[in-house]
Amino acid sequence: MTATFNPQAAAEQASKNYRGVTTQLGHLGLDTSVPEAVRAMAEKSVAQTREIYDRSKDALDASIATFERSFDTAGRSATAFNRKIIDIAQRNVNSVFDLAKSLAGAKNLTNIVELQAASSGLLAQAVRRTDGSGRGSAHAFDQGDGRRGRADQGAGGARRG
């Protein structure tokens, strides 16, 4: 046995059943109106729920704004940190090239050893540096007076040759 479903027939049957039930309720003489007190209580509950929702939404919006500011700050800090790392790398590369240029121009083995020792001394000085500036080894060859030290300069700043 195969039964087919007819949506139109089902809708008509539901409509017929609804009309029958409402007709029977009307014959019973039941008062189907909602009392004023119940309506007032329902309206008050809806209004209170709406107020609670609005306050919760405002609190959520404030929390989201705080998170966004935190993430923005963290992002800016990460960007600044990355820039600092790049700056350190650039300074190190420049210092190595300066040393290589000086070594290439050295006239004798003594000069090479002196240049290498000066370079190592500047690097060790930068690592030990604790001047409180927070710059750490980012200014590895900063001599403290704003001038950058060079591997080919001795303690007095004069070029050895």
Helix (H) or strand (E) holding 14: helix 7-28
Q: What is the pLDDT along the chain (161 residues), one digit of tens a residue?
A: 566 778 888 889 888 988 888 787 777 766 667 788 988 999 999 999 999 999 999 999 999 999 999 999 999 999 999 999 999 899 888 888 888 898 888 888 888 888 888 888 777 776 665 444 545 444 444 444 444 444 444 444 444 44
Rounded to the nearest 5 percent, the helix, strand and coil shares of the chain are 70, 0, 25
How many Cα neighbours within 13 Å face the side chain of 156?
3
C-alpha distances (whole Å) from 93 to each of 72, 87, 141, 160 are 31, 10, 12, 22
Beta-bridge partner residues of 142: 148
**DSSP, res 9:** H
Name the residue among 72, 159, 74 with its Cα closest to residue 115.
159
- The model carries a pTM of 0.42
Query: What does the DSSP assignment read for 79-94?
Result: HHHHHHHHHHHHHHHH
Rg (CA), the chain: 42
